[in-house]
Chain A
Amino acid sequence: MELTGAIAITGLRSFLGTRLAERLLQRAPGLRIVGLDLRRPYRLEGSVRFHRVDLTDPTAAARVAEVLEREGVEVLVHAAFRRDPSPDVEYDHELETLGSLHVLHACSAVKVRRLVVASSTTLYGPWPDNPNFLSESHPLRGHPAAHNVRNRIETEELLAEWRERHPETDLSVLRLCWIMGPSHWDRVSAHFARPAVTTVLGYDPLLQFVHEEDALNALERATLERHPGVFNVVGSGVLPLSTLLRLAGKRSLPVPAPLWYRLLRWPLQGATGDPPEAFYDYLRYLWVADGERGWAAFGEPVYSTKEAWISFVSARRLRRYR
């Protein structure tokens, strides 16, 4: 099926939004891309039709619907999520959960053909009783202390409900795991970029990364082709945290969890709005997702977990010596 209408991207300024727009333009220069965000995308000036929309605004649904209608949007990619948790917990909830609700309302009004949502495998949550591979049907248990994860689980619940009521729209939900690569940056990369990485004493979980190019490739294919359903988008293979650090020549600083959680409670709450367990539990228990379904739909990933990690580490190293 050839697309005739435009592709809209919410959260155009986010990493996924910008890079997806660039990729789409490169692949098919004739595509009309509509961007929705708070601020203008300086790298995409001129090539993207930009509309300033505030998703936390109570009237955002009508505004988004108006843009979708006017531009003749056929595919909507919803990527307006927080990259990192912020101390403004209320705002995060307004943006991530209610913003998504507004987007869904707009989609029901305008009848887009396809809706693609960028979700995350962190929503499965690190739990000691997780199986080694979490499939898409596994319940989203999240982490009770991580407010972003809570918000996005609510979003997924809204999406599941919406899917029932709107069978005419193809809804693809892509659950990405932690992204590694030369240009992606968030607090996970910041944590792993240090020469000495704090780990939880006595735990060495298997971790899984997806390379930014593989993540974007999956998003691109979900945008251009028809792939209704929920997919885990992950790199192949897993590696223990300690092996990853050794591969990168980094030191691990194991800290006892109860002490560390107590020490960091107030500083981290101030910086991210969450207590330390909201992040460190992800370095403690298993939360590896099963990527088979995603690979079958979007093709085998080019980078394995190890290669994604090495690409991140070596890019950092090169930058240091420039």
Chain B
Amino acid sequence: MTDAEGPEPDLLRRALVELRQELEARLGGDPAPGSGRGPVDWMELFEGLRRRLSTLGMSERSGEVDEFGMDEVVVRRTEPLLDFLLERWWRIDLPGIEGLPAAGPCLLVANGSGLLPYDGLMISHAVARHHPAHVRPRFLVADWLITLPFAQPFLARLGGIRACRENAQRILQRGGWAVAFPEGVKGAAKVFRQRYRLQRFGRGGVVRLAIESRTPLVPVAVVGAEEAHPVLFKLRTPARAFGLPFLPVTPTFPWLGPLGLLPLPSKWSIRFGEAISLAHLGPEAATDELQVQRLTAELRERIQALLEQSLAERPSIWG
């Protein structure tokens, strides 16, 4: 469980404070020994340790979450890590981010890639960092992942939502932003040789949703996430024991154990396309299947084109 129980961290913290006072009493009076290198700053070390301890297991969460379970405090505490991933680890380029709609609800539609929802997390964080209105889009997560033990509480605190029509509708109706991956589990489960080839776009739910809620659609192409967890092949039989749809085999995953879950530092780019406005269509267009199909195909082509563009501009996987 991610949560540490109440009393222990408190006890430990108090013990540390006492230890610190003790140390201060013993060392504080002494001048530093006259040797060449400076004394170890015990005080600082202890302060750091104490701070670290308090964040262990997210023990300092707020007592409030929003209606989908996102915890502002957890998000704020995770921001340094997300910044690190965004700027250092994957060195993400964000072409087209300045063209995002300035206000109002918006539905970002991206290609699904990578097993874990790093792509959703990164799109959401990049928009929160660079958009003038500081909106933090909520990313929709496929069922099999959000209902996985341990993943669910964690993803929900960071703003992940189960991908379903009602949830997306509710977000958009309240003027929020959402990131959808219409390929669904098909997109996440691609093996390495199918990378950057878009799969079927569900049943047109994204377009129907945008028409009904009169929300602009923004095509987004994520390049690099496929290489963060290159899936060589999928095992189906052992996966059933864990209740997963498949067990991925990556160059690192089952071999290095949990360490294999660390994503590789590939160079990413998240390219935002021009917003597609569907405001001219009336709500009756949502039931016009042919129209929805046509728009879905158009959206898919736009994302594929953005993908091709990003791939052509990228010098190598590691950039």
Query: Which residues of A are in contact with B by a Cβ distance under 8 Å?
Result: 128-129, 131-133, 135, 199, 201-206, 237-240, 242-243, 246-247, 249, 251-252, 254, 285-286, 306
Whole-angstrom distance from the CB of B103 to the nearest CB of chain A? 25
B68–A132 CB distance below 8 A? yes
Q: Is the interface of A mostly helix, strand, loop or mixed?
A: loop
Whole-angstrom distance from the CB of A133 to the nearest CB of chain B? 6
- Choose among A133, A243, A249 the residue with the greatest number of B CB atoms under 10 Å from its CB: A243
B33 at the interface (CB under 8 A from A): no
Query: Which residues of B are in contact with A by a Cβ distance under 8 Å?
Result: 1-3, 5-6, 61, 63-65, 67-69, 143, 147, 149-150, 152-153, 156-157, 161-162, 164-167, 170
Q: Identify B147's interface contact among A128, A133, A199, A246, CB under 8 A.
A: A128
In angstroms, Cα B235 to Cα A32, docked, is 70
In angstroms, Cα B70 to Cα A237, docked, is 12
Q: Identify B3's interface contact among A131, A206, A252, CB under 8 A.
A: A252
In angstroms, Cα B64 to Cα A128, docked, is 23
Whole-angstrom distance from the CB of B140 to the nearest CB of chain A? 11
In angstroms, Cα B2 to Cα A199, docked, is 13
B3–A238 CB distance below 8 A? no
The 10 A-B residue pairs whose C-beta atoms are closest, nearest first, are A202-B149, A131-B166, A204-B153, A128-B147, A254-B1, A202-B150, A242-B3, A206-B69, A131-B164, A132-B167
A129–B164 CB distance below 8 A? yes
Contacts of B156 in A (CB 8 A): 204, 206, 240
In angstroms, Cα B61 to Cα A260, docked, is 28
Not counting A240-B157, A242-B153, a sample of 16 additional A-B residue pairs whose C-beta atoms are within 8 angstroms of each other reads A128-B143, A129-B147, A131-B162, A131-B164, A131-B165, A131-B166, A132-B69, A132-B161, A133-B170, A202-B149, A202-B152, A205-B152, A238-B69, A240-B156, A249-B6, A285-B147
In angstroms, Cα B162 to Cα A129, docked, is 8
B5–A252 CB distance below 8 A? yes
In angstroms, Cα B152 to Cα A197, docked, is 20
Q: Closest A residue to B68 by CB, please name it.
A: A132
B63–A306 CB distance below 8 A? yes
- Choose among B153, B164, B170 the residue with the greatest number of A CB atoms under 10 Å from its CB: B153
A251–B6 CB distance below 8 A? yes
In angstroms, Cα B153 to Cα A128, docked, is 13
B65–A131 CB distance below 8 A? no
In angstroms, Cα B61 to Cα A246, docked, is 10
Contacts of A239 in B (CB 8 A): 63-65
Whole-angstrom distance from the CB of A282 to the nearest CB of chain B? 15
A133–B166 CB distance below 8 A? yes
Contacts of B143 in A (CB 8 A): 128-129
